[in-house]
Structure 1
Amino acid sequence: MPYIPKKQIRRLAGPTVYARGLDYYERGYIKGIQQQQNGTISKIKASVQGEEMYKVELFFLESGEWEDGSCTCPAHSDGMHVCKHMAAVMIELASLQKPEVSSFFSEPVQKKQVSEKEATSSLRHFFMDHFSGRLTTVESIGEPMRAEFVLQFFSDYSFVQEKYFTVQLRIGVDKLYVVKNMEDLFASIRQRSLLPITKNFTFDPTYHYFKEEDLQALKMLEYIVRNQKWQKDGRTASFGYSETSARAIQVPPVAAEQMLERLTPCRQVFVQSATRNQLVPFMVKEEFPGTFDMQQADEDYLISYSAVSYPPKRISLTSYYIWNDRLYKIDPEADRDIVLLFHMLMDTPQGRLPLSSEEVGQVYKQIVAPLEQNEKLEMTESIRSSIEEQPLQAKIYLDKKENGLTADPLFSYGPYSIHAVTEQQTPEDKAILVRDTKQEKDILQFIEEAGFHWNGERLILSQEEDIALFFLDILPELKKQADVFMSRAAESTFIPPETLQVEAALDPSMGWLDISFETSDLNEEDVFHLMKALKEKKRYYKTIEGGYVSLTSSWMKNLQDLLQDTPVTEENTENKKMRMPSYKTLLLDDKTRESAGWNASATMEDLIRHIRDPQTFEVELPERLNADLRDYQKLGFQWMKALTAYGFGGILADDMGLGKTLQTLTYILSERQKNPEAPPFLIVAPSSLIYNWEKEAQRFTPDLKIAVIHGTKPQRKKQWSTYEEADVWITSYPLLRRDEELYRGRVFYGLILDEAQNIKNHLSKSFRAVRRMDAGRIFALSGTPIENKLEELWSMFAVIMPGLFPDVSKFKQLSPDQIKQRIAPFIMRRTKKEVLKELPDKIESSLYCELNKQQRETYMAYLERIKAETSQQLKEGLSSNRMNILANLTRLRQLCCHPGMFLENYTGSSGKLDELMAFMKDSKENGRRVLVFSQFTSMLSIISKAFDEAGLSYFYLDGKTPSDQRMALTEQFNEGSADSFLISLKAGGTGLNLTGADTVVLFDLWWNPAVESQAADRAHRIGQKRVVQVVKLISQGTIEEKILSLQDKKKALFDQVIQTGESSLSSLSEDDIRELLDL
């Protein structure tokens, strides 16, 4: 393997670089040395670890002499010097030449051993260089070299108008000497070896140094030489090969631009004159050489170049030209047209280009004016005086013929007009008319894009769709650049939307909105077809008379949105009217109603104002209302009355505890006083709340006659016959389902659906039973109109306002924003934070509980088994195993509460129960009254036993508690009986008013945080005088922490559609399950 003696390495690299290379060698940073043979050249490849892994290549001649090398590190980017990585590989090669014992049984020879003196000396240099900040350089101790570059330019016989050049070099200190072989000079610099230039001068690279600007030019020349040499040897090169003598380096065209840029800052650069035997100083002017001339010859104008006999020549593949031994650098972008003109003139036989006055006018702005501005054009005063420069005024004349739409484009400049196609000018004149060819081209491009074609006489557009799109898309843009004149026939072809007179009228009694087109441009059949075109989202409609109506305006698009769920038939477009449900009025945006040609009836404007701002709907509170309504409750009452006045229903979605029941009873009383002979209202509520409604009605609206339908079926039948005089019927969802036949044929004035989430499933029996009720006005009450998914809203509005949404499959395609836009007028939502500034704070916190030892062992055993089962079940498919998976998740949640809930032989306690008992003891001592919620009645049973043993007084309520007892227990608790109330989350989470409590404990987490919020609001509601503390008990390190995290991630759906600040939890997905169990 070839190598370099260490003495030579030290000389090549210098002491500092050598010391660093030695350090790398001793640390073992060199990896994977390989040798490759390529003809007479031997290549050594290696990798060296530095700040990153660098690739080193060393080249040796057949004689073993080192020729060249390279490294991918930044320090070797100049390609001129040996870097520390190259030095390290050279030292490694040198060390490999030491005799080694090759016997299999011999002791291994230690590699990389150097003398202590050598290593110490090298490292000493490295230490001082690195830490002292005083690197010894040639510049500080040596002598500067002068460098003189001489360029000689030659004609390229392949391209007679182009040149290439060579570079020769003279160097010296006081006197300059010709470098006879530049390759030797570069080798001397790389290898740090002496190079005799003459008998009197020897170049010493360790002593002599070049100025930075000269060094950069030399590096470029060295690159060129190396590339040419490598290409000869068959290796990769950056530049194309060109023949070079030892003394004069021929610069290849691809490197010429960079070479000239490197030479520009050098102080001594000369050009060998092409006409004189002398050197001319190298100068670069940034302009195009020479001048142009324009003369008149008869009716034409001749443009020529001033130095046609000896024109400038371009230096191949560069932006440089040489002329009269000087270099000129052009701007390829700014001077592009001038350069093109020059080359065109050089290609003509006499170096002249004849142009007519019209042609000069057309190229004036591009060529003539820039040449004049740069003082590059000579012309006579008579030519200059004949130039007419006026602004362009484009005119387009449109007409309608039997075979299509015609266009006549004219370009006017002052008194002159030119036809855009025929170029005919009037008046005819020999003046040079300066034309704005760019703008002319842009205008003609619009016309061409429209599809106009020249039929020999005029431009014509024949296809129906092309004519429509011209008026829709191109004409508005064309009008920005030209004056457009239309004949009456052409004007009648296009009917702008703003010229259509539209009447929008409302008939609340019939529930219809009529959109009428009061215009002679459309007949009754047109209205039908125009509406169909809108519904099909077409961009234009062609009338029966042949006119085109744009369907792309903003109000047309708004009307298009209204039509999506409305069938377009000949029946609902009679008398030039489009009839649609009146609620569509609220989907008309302000921009549409303010559009030109739109006229909205007073009734329609009243509807929009009253629904958007119910305060503007003037209505008195009913007489003998036994309550003082707060302002927001009056607003809710006005909103319900306004919706009723216009035949709508809605959802009162106020926060729990804000008095939805009171607002609704006020509304019912008002309607009964207004229409005492009308059929009764029907209130449908959960079984647990029917008596709450009765009590509240007796309290606030004692004039209302209330009939509660309950008991056995015979009892209910009897109640039916005796309740004919009632103002309000109250029943439950389960009884409504059972009594569906009894309700058939019965008409109610209004229907109130309390806790309307009971009909959220459109496939349920409750939904079907409620939807069959015949009632003129329907309102839903729900603090959580969305509990899990958006389809729940569809179910509610399918009952309240049938037709507001399309069928379920199309509803799912609507975005949350589209849904929100439709429901916004029909949902009123206020939170406690917004309207009850005087309501005491609700302080929410989480109390983390440790599982005790026995409980944790049990939990972990079940967790591992359930994780394995669930992983397998998910592979088989979530849909087929959902019930099993959810049952297993419930088991884990029960273990967090108390293993004894389902393990009969469990004798231990529960960390969470122990924490609850300590909390209850502290609460009793501090006089706090507590509601304890759990979704598991078996857990409530365990808690009740613990309370009994501790002597804590409490009430108990679950789904088995009769409705009448619920009211009695609530009243007793609020009056001060018992310290606490144990409540099933499902049975007592809604409808109870328990303001006697000031503390709420959520013993276990529920998937839906809205249900937990409802439970907390049993205490935090109107009438509460104290701060309410809500505490969630969470078993640390268990699935309950995962549920809490999942709740936080699932709060976007309600926010998007109803109102910011609430939350909802979608059904558990596979990803949710994997997250809960860390699968």
Structure 2
Amino acid sequence: EGGAGAQAALLFQLDEPDAPNQPWPIKIMLTAANGVVPFPCSRADAPPSVAAVWEDVLITLGQAALLFPPLGCAAPQDGYFGCPLAAAEAHAFLSVHADLLEAAGYAVVRPDWWGSAPPGAVTLEAGLLEQQKVASEFDLNAKVGLTWNVLFNGETVTRAELELLLAAESPLVFFRGRWLLIDTRRLQEALRLLKRRQVENVTALQVVRMTLGLDSGGHGLEVTGCKGASWLDALIGRLDGSRPFGLLPPPSGFCGELRPYQLRGFSWLVFLRRLGLGACLADDMGLGKTVQALALLLHEKAAGQSRPALLVGPMSILGNWLREARRFAPGLRCRLHHGADRPRGADFGASLKNMDLVITSYTLLYRDYADFRRVAWSGVILDEAQNIKNPGTRQAQAARALQASYRIALTGTPMENHVGELWSVMDFLNPGLLGSRGDFRERFWRPIQAGADLAARSRLRRATAPFILRRLKTDRQIIADLPEKTENRVYCPLTREQAQLYQETLESFQNGLVGLEGLERRGSILAVLTRLKQICNHPANYFDDGRPLAARSGKLLRLEEMIEESFAGGESVLIFTQYAKMGHLLRRRLCQAFAMEMPFLHGSLSLKERDNIVRGFQESAEPQAFILSLKAGGTGLNLTRASRVFHYDRWWNPAVENQATDRAFRIGQTRDVMVHKFICGGTLEDRIDAMIESKTALAGEIVNSGETFLTELSNEELADVLKLSVDEGFL
């Protein structure tokens, strides 16, 4: 077990030599009460504490030699006790045997650099030769000649140096004054490339793809940069962010003021549009993605663009786009394609005459696709672009098939559930950029989800960063006049009626779960999750028998108290629920309790009805409450009249909940925003919230997958999550 008793334990220290062709000394020492001491040559040379267990020390050393045989040759050396190793033996010790010795209880000291650095990186640098006069720095079809330089750990190496590295007998090599670990396969590929000594003819776009890590040029090695063609070198620098791109003045006809970060966003959109590349403007909710897109449309019109652009978004935000266009870009001629009397067929084409922007919904995009596909749009803009996150849906397929000179995606959440959703958005913007969906899954999605390839996340970021611009409103350098938001959880007890329903439903589910497998089991679990959450909301959300709603739900009681407190302070509130039925119940009860009208925005309202109730809420001089369906009202609306937000029930997807909160926490808000998330203590809501919170870092980067992960739990684990804790108490 590595130790020779309480008095001493063996320690093996491998030191690197100062020069090549010298042995690697592995030194054997003892850790004793007075610290680390050299291994004695005999019992007589040992300190008393070691001499007392000398036989044990020798036995322990012999056991170590079984794990790493060269230790059996340990003897006094020049200045140490141990044995010299060849480079190949040193590599075997570091890569395999040191771990075995540690697992057996021995102490091991390795060189400082080992374990912190991967094998020396073998990469390529493109040398560019201009083969034709370039008409524009934005001409990505221009032909350039390409030669290759090989970099080893970021330093240029010659063919002779590559041959010398490959001639080493061990992957441990001494190179330019230090020891490194080499990747033989990559060095061999690099040497084959240098032996060819030929100029490759490629387009500027191919060079851009190579430097972004999306194309190896068929050589299997990463391309880290290019030198030679100054215009292309500068262009790539602006794409990857290493060089600034010039800011444009606000476009002619823009009514209002673009904040500095908005001016940069507008200039960035124009920059990528001139290159013919798609752009994802992923600013946080409330930072003005709409006005930046409108500025681009005005810039296009001023440049002589006569074809209309198409804007697609959820129905709930279409009216907002029209209002924002009239406010900030009154010179744009806009038309809303919506309603039963919308033009179709030949009339559709005629309706586009003299139009600058056509606005429609995702639903109509695929319903009227036959009309949309016949138009050569100047550009296509997708607002709330997460609506195409599933590439197999009809609306995603229709969006990708549209004809357009440029494409833009606006979204605060380019990923809601997993990194795979990013492919659909990026493939709409720049078809083929990330390869096929299958290629993306193998190269990025699977390694990132499994955590097996730590570099996959960096490669994906490098490949997509030039096409995604994201700023957060919590950054005070971005915007100084937006107040902070404060979030808290409101834990509510169940009423006895709720508790009884909860327990009965849970017992019935558990009895029926026995023997279920596969999809049938998953369906049963998802169904009971919905039923239990509805019971936590209100018994009438689960089964409405027509009885009065008051005093039957802990959540509703607490909500009434907090609304009363908000109204007393002159604050208006938003109340989000994921269940339309619960929204109607809340409206019924709250209108009665507060003797005032409280609107409910849900998916069945017409566009005109939505616009009217939003305008009425925003323009009200008195405190108001506004109830919203999480799906219908969670995106695209500006509701800065509210300074309190209540999440009556939980979606368990931080991205969706944060989008809903951002209806109030956005530009124009002048007061602090307080966000209250309701949770029934001692129920599944309490435990799922704790589970989600434990994954906060992951949720912030790729966003969690919601409740569906519960279907993968065992029956015992599931019972622990769903059980009702009676110690929480009931009303």
TM more than 0.5: yes
Paired amino acid for 1:843: T
Q: Which residue of 2 aligns with 1:503?
A: 129
Paired amino acid for 2:322: E
Whether 1:764 and 2:409 are equivalent positions in the alignment is no
Whether 1:967 and 2:593 are equivalent positions in the alignment is no
Whether 1:831 and 2:472 are equivalent positions in the alignment is yes
Counterpart CA distance in 2 for 1:819 and 1:842 is 31
Whether 1:889 and 2:514 are equivalent positions in the alignment is no
CA displacement 1:713-743 (0-9 Å, x = unmatched): 6644535413211011111111110111112
Q: Which residue of 1 aligns with 2:408?
A: 779
Contact 1:1051 1:1064 in 2 (8 A): no
Match of 1:617 among 246, 262, 276: 246
Contact 2:213 2:463 in 1 (8 A): no
Contact 1:1035 1:1041 in 2 (8 A): yes
CA displacement 1:449-502 (0-9 Å, x = unmatched): xxxxxxxxxxxxxxxxxxxxxxxxxxxxxxxxxxxxxxxxxxxxxxx9999964
Q: Say which SS state the counterpart of residue 671 (structure 2) adopts.
A: coil
Contact 1:508 1:647 in 2 (8 A): no
Distance 1:918 1:872, change over 3 A: farther
Distance 1:556 1:617, change over 3 A: farther
Q: Which runs of 5+ in 2 are unaligned?
A: 7-41, 49-73, 88-121, 149-165, 168-183, 215-221, 445-455, 722-731
Contact 1:688 1:962 in 2 (8 A): no
Paired amino acid for 2:505: Y
Q: Say which SS state the counterpart of residue 959 (structure 1) adopts.
A: coil
Q: Which residue of 2 aligns with 1:654?
A: 283
Distance 1:885 1:594, change over 3 A: closer
Counterpart CA distance in 1 for 2:589 and 2:267 is 50
Paired amino acid for 1:1017: D
Q: Say which SS state the counterpart of residue 777 (structure 1) adopts.
A: strand
Q: CA deviation at 1:1038?
A: 0.6
Distance 1:499 1:905, change over 3 A: closer
Counterpart CA distance in 1 for 2:311 and 2:332 is 13
Q: Which residue of 1 aligns with 2:38?
A: none
Distance 1:749 1:1053, change over 3 A: farther
Paired amino acid for 1:960: S
Identity of aligned residues (%): 33
Contact 2:600 2:627 in 1 (8 A): yes
Q: Which residue of 2 aligns with 1:999?
A: 644
Contact 2:237 2:243 in 1 (8 A): no
Contact 1:637 1:664 in 2 (8 A): yes
Q: CA deviation at 1:631?
A: 0.9
Counterpart CA distance in 2 for 1:825 and 1:748 is 24
Q: Which residue of 2 aligns with 1:448?
A: none
Paired amino acid for 2:720: D
Whether 1:981 and 2:626 are equivalent positions in the alignment is yes
Q: Which residue of 2 aligns with 1:923?
A: 566
Q: Which residue of 2 aligns with 1:140?
A: none
Contact 1:1052 1:1063 in 2 (8 A): no
Match of 1:664 among 279, 282, 293: 293
* Relative contact order, higher structure (CA 8 A, sep 6+): 2
Counterpart CA distance in 1 for 2:126 and 2:44 is 71
Contact 2:423 2:440 in 1 (8 A): yes
Q: Which residue of 1 aligns with 2:490?
A: 847
Distance 1:779 1:1073, change over 3 A: farther
Counterpart CA distance in 1 for 2:283 and 2:698 is 17
Counterpart CA distance in 1 for 2:323 and 2:126 is 58
Match of 2:555 among 890, 912, 916: 912
- Written as runs of structure 1 = structure 2, the 5 A alignment for 1:269-284 is none
- Written as runs of structure 1 = structure 2, the 5 A alignment for 1:552-951 is 552=186, 576-579=200-203, 581=206, 583-584=208-209, 586-587=211-212, 598-609=227-238, 612=241, 615-677=244-306, 679-712=307-340, 715-717=343-345, 718-813=347-442, 814=444, 815-834=456-475, 835-870=478-513, 872-873=515-516, 876-877=517-518, 879-905=519-545, 907=547, 909-950=552-593, 951=595
Q: Say which SS state the counterpart of residue 954 (structure 1) adopts.
A: coil
Given the two structures, how large is their TM-score scaled by the length of structure 1?
0.47
Distance 1:628 1:687, change over 3 A: same
Counterpart CA distance in 2 for 1:599 and 1:555 is 23
Which stretch has the larger CA shift, 647-656 or 714-723? 714-723
Q: CA deviation at 1:817?
A: 2.3
Q: Which runs of 5+ in 1 are unaligned?
A: 1-72, 75-256, 264-330, 337-437, 443-495, 520-538, 541-549, 561-572
Contact 1:851 1:896 in 2 (8 A): yes
Distance 1:332 1:822, change over 3 A: closer
Counterpart CA distance in 2 for 1:260 and 1:508 is 77
Paired amino acid for 1:1078: D
Contact 1:759 1:767 in 2 (8 A): yes
CA displacement 1:178-237 (0-9 Å, x = unmatched): xxxxxxxxxxxxxxxxxxxxxxxxxxxxxxxxxxxxxxxxxxxxxxxxxxxxxxxxxxxx
Q: Say which SS state the counterpart of residue 1034 (structure 1) adopts.
A: strand
Given the two structures, how large is their TM-score scaled by the length of structure 2?
0.68
Counterpart CA distance in 1 for 2:389 and 2:494 is 38
Q: CA deviation at 1:518?
A: 5.9
- Written as runs of structure 1 = structure 2, the 5 A alignment for 1:14-53 is none
Q: CA deviation at 1:258?
A: 6.5
Counterpart CA distance in 2 for 1:972 and 1:1004 is 25
Whether 1:958 and 2:586 are equivalent positions in the alignment is no
Contact 1:789 1:1066 in 2 (8 A): no
Contact 2:308 2:352 in 1 (8 A): no
Distance 1:614 1:906, change over 3 A: farther
Q: Say which SS state the counterpart of residue 785 (structure 1) adopts.
A: coil
Contact 1:760 1:796 in 2 (8 A): yes
Contact 1:585 1:604 in 2 (8 A): no
Q: CA deviation at 1:1035?
A: 0.6
Counterpart CA distance in 2 for 1:976 and 1:262 is 88
Counterpart CA distance in 2 for 1:669 and 1:863 is 58
- Written as runs of structure 1 = structure 2, the 5 A alignment for 1:419-568 is 502-503=128-129, 511-512=140-141, 516-517=145-146, 552=186
Paired amino acid for 1:969: I
Counterpart CA distance in 2 for 1:966 and 1:262 is 87
Q: CA deviation at 1:619?
A: 2.2
Counterpart CA distance in 2 for 1:932 and 1:554 is 63
CA displacement 1:671-708 (0-9 Å, x = unmatched): 1111233x211111111111211111011000000011
CA displacement 1:126-182 (0-9 Å, x = unmatched): xxxxxxxxxxxxxxxxxxxxxxxxxxxxxxxxxxxxxxxxxxxxxxxxxxxxxxxxx
CA displacement 1:318-367 (0-9 Å, x = unmatched): xxxxxxxxxxxxx953599xxxxxxxxxxxxxxxxxxxxxxxxxxxxxxx
CA displacement 1:71-94 (0-9 Å, x = unmatched): xx99xxxxxxxxxxxxxxxxxxxx
Counterpart CA distance in 2 for 1:554 and 1:1024 is 60
How many matched pairs? Answer: 552
Paired amino acid for 1:831: L
- Written as runs of structure 1 = structure 2, the 5 A alignment for 1:139-538 is 333-334=76-77, 502-503=128-129, 511-512=140-141, 516-517=145-146
Contact 2:305 2:378 in 1 (8 A): no
Counterpart CA distance in 1 for 2:354 and 2:232 is 35
Q: CA deviation at 1:1003?
A: 0.4
Counterpart CA distance in 1 for 2:47 and 2:391 is 81
Counterpart CA distance in 2 for 1:500 and 1:1031 is 54
Distance 1:880 1:783, change over 3 A: same
Paired amino acid for 2:626: F
Q: CA deviation at 1:618?
A: 3.9
- Written as runs of structure 1 = structure 2, the 5 A alignment for 1:81-100 is none
